[in-house]
A and B are shown apart, each in its own frame.
Chain A
Amino acid sequence: AQSVTQLDSHVSVSEGTPVLLRCNYSSSYSPSLFWYVQHPNKGLQLLLKYTSAATLVKGINGFEAEFKKSETSFHLTKPSAHMSDAAEYFCVVISGGYQKVTFGTGTKLQVIP
């Protein structure tokens, strides 16, 4: 079975402080992992992806994530939050011979001025 768990449905940080959005996955195969961002009333935009190359992945807007196989985690981080980071973030796993796609339930990030 394949699953994605985003451990926090809401995260609130002050502007300029670090961001940590947590994602754990379960897969019987070597997965590809993605983070997408959705700003209010907008579509989904790819932030970054892991596809079995370097385990530390850098994405757009200063975000990065580290694939930790032993912990089955792919947490998203940013050193310093900006007001424009306020959005909903989705962790996605794709794996298996049939490349099954599974979305997490999302984490809403609030950035306080």
Chain B
Amino acid sequence: DADVTQTPRNRITKTGKRIMLECSQTKGHDRMYWYRQDPGLGLQLIYYSFDVKDINKGEISDGYSVSRQAQAKFSLSLESAIPNQTALYFCATSDLTSGGYEQFFGPGTRLTVL
């Protein structure tokens, strides 16, 4: 869905490097989410934000941080990347108007940590 964009789409980095993944949305939604996907584990919630001043940890927040720069932008940072953070990362948005807080997903960022 072009309404939710993620950059970069692919990234290869080395252990110990700082990485930022960015998410932007034009849907006007107040809620934004970061997930990681690993084979056999589904999607696990890293962080979520209900508005610019409301940021919450998800199931697996250790090793990650986030910044909600504006309603439309939500960035995920890996302060010191490690190989087990190699995964597919998805950003999503939702809103009360989206019917039960249906999640709208970006295309994903494939991150490889060597």
Contact = CB atoms under 8 A, between A and B. Distances in A.
Interface of A: 9, 32, 34, 36, 43-44, 46, 49-52, 90, 92, 94, 99, 101, 103-106
B74 to A, nearest CB: 15
Interface in B38-82: 40-45, 48
A26 to B, nearest CB: 16
Contacts of A44: 43, 90, 103, 105
Interface of B: 1, 31, 33, 35, 40-45, 48, 90, 94, 99-103, 105-108
Given A9-B40, A90-B43, A106-B42, A101 B105 contact: no
21 contacts: A32-B100, A32-B102, A34-B103, A36-B103, A43-B108, A44-B90, A44-B105, A46-B102, A50-B100, A51-B99, A52-B100, A92-B103, A94-B101, A99-B31, A99-B94, A99-B101, A101-B101, A103-B42, A103-B43, A103-B44, A106-B40
A49 B100 contact: yes
Nearest to A91: B42
B42 A105 contact: yes
- If over half of A's interface residues share one DSSP class (helix, strand or loop), that class is named, otherwise mixed; here it is strand
B42 A49 contact: no
Given A9-B40, A101-B33, A49 B102 contact: yes
Contacts of B35: 103
B101 to A, nearest CB: 5
A32 B103 CA distance: 11
Nearest to B107: A43
Contact of A32 (B42, B43, B101, B108): B101
Contacts of A104: 42
A105 B40 contact: yes
A90 B41 CA distance: 11
Contacts of B45: 101, 103
A43 B34 CA distance: 14
A52 B101 CA distance: 13
